[in-house]
Amino acid sequence: MVNMIIYITLGFMITGIFFAVLRFIKGPTAADRTVALDTLTTIAMALLVLLAFVFKRFIYVDVALVYGVLGFIGVLVIARYLEGAL
């Protein structure tokens, strides 16, 4: 039962990562690509927590924590550059 739920969640995450990368490659403007990077950061954070649960190694949660703390800084800098106020 738990394995079934984990597999379904992994399938959803693979689909999400695929479409986010597709939007990154296709996206016509720079804002599309920046939002795709932000979406990928969020999905990757959830995936890291799920992998920490699967492998039963709870040190892996720290990596997701670092992503949550630092992941927005790059997007913030790119957004300030696009605004023209960096």
Partner 1 sequence: MIIYIILLLFLLLLMIGTAIYSIVQRDLLYAVIGTGVISLILSILFLFLQAPDVALTEAAIGVALTTIVFIITIRNTVRFEEEPKRPSKPASK
Question: Which residues bind to partner 1, rule: CB under 8 A?
Answer: 7, 10, 14, 17-18, 21, 24-25, 30, 33-34, 36-37, 40-41, 44, 47-48, 51, 54, 57, 59-60, 62-63, 66-67, 70-71, 73-74, 77-78, 81, 86
CB of 74 to partner 1, least distance (A): 4
Count CA within 13 A, CB hemisphere, residue 61.
5
Joined together, the tokens standing for residue 2 give 């738990």
CB of 55 to partner 1, least distance (A): 8
Query: CA–CA distance from 30 to each of 13, 24, 43, 74 (Å)?
Result: 24, 9, 20, 14
